[in-house]
Amino acid sequence: MKAKRWNHNLHYHPLILAAAPADCVRALDVGCGEGVLTRELRSVSERVVGIDLDLPSIEVARAQGGEGVEYVLGDLLEHSFEPASFDFVASVAALHHMDAETGLTRMAGLVRPGGSLVVVGLTRSRQLGDFALDIAGTAATRIHTHILRKRHWEHSAPKVWPPPLSYVELRRIAGRVLPGVEYRRHVLWRYSLVWTRPRGERPSDARRLTSGYS
């Protein structure tokens, strides 16, 4: 039997999909790469946009097709998305490619009131508890690839290593930019941020957040 394709980013796609609002019409995948998550988001959103700076990745993504899916070659911080124009914004392993505070501020500003933002990313281990989870992550990876016989997949998109921030630094920034954000540290060298924009916020609040980025 052929091994199932898997890696540390794909592993957390179900977490992202589960966080989508029930009435999701338009979703954005930030740093979409070859569009794996972008296409999966069609299961929870009527329309999906994927954006990435890497032309070869976008070309691979576009070749996969998909009704209701659009791919944009561009920079999240510069592209002319309208503020508060998405019900759901998701990003996997892309935030460390940009300044974290700037990136989170831009993504948050694109979420409509009542919509959600989910970020899964990686940072640098610097504390004892981080290293303990890293050891657990090594064991968990072996279980997935050897015991569960999942085939480790390496994407072709450019990589940034090491990440510039520690888990503590990232959590502090997220708490400042996204009041009430749910932060979790995961075993497989990842963290997640889940945030919902309050329904009572006015459109001008989103425009303030995105000021200077659109």
List the one residue out of 49, 185, 51 whose CA is nearest residue 121: 185
CB atoms within 10 A of CB 114: 14
Q: What is the amino acid identity at position 55? A: L
Mean pLDDT (the chain) is 85
Alpha carbons 133 and 138: distance in angstroms, whole number: 9
> At residue 94, what are phi and psi to the nearest 5 degrees?
-120, -25
Whether the CB-CB separation of 44 and 27 falls below 8 Å is answered with yes
Sorted by where each begins, the domain ranges of the chain are 4-124+156-207
Which CATH entry fits the domain spanning 4-124+156-207: 3.30.1510.10, 3.40.50.300, 3.40.50.980, 3.40.50.150? 3.40.50.150
User: What percentage of the chain has pLDDT greater than the value 70?
Assistant: 75
Residue 1 is predicted with a pLDDT of 39
pLDDT, tens digit, 9 for 90 and up, residues 76-106: 999 999 999 999 999 999 999 999 999 999 9
CB 31 within 8 A of CB 159: no
pLDDT band at 11 (very low <50, low <70, confident <90, very high): confident
CA atoms within 13 A on the CB side of 1: 6
Residue type, 198: P
Instruction: Return the bridge partners of 89, or none.
Output: 28, 117
- pLDDT on residue 95: 96
What are φ and ψ of residue 40, in 5° steps? -65, -30
The span from the CA of 83 to the CA of 30, in Å, is 15
pLDDT digits (tens, 9 = 90+) for 54-68: 999 999 999 998 899
DSSP 81: P
Q: What is the pLDDT of residues 177-198, one digit of tens each?
A: 999 999 999 887 799 999 999 9
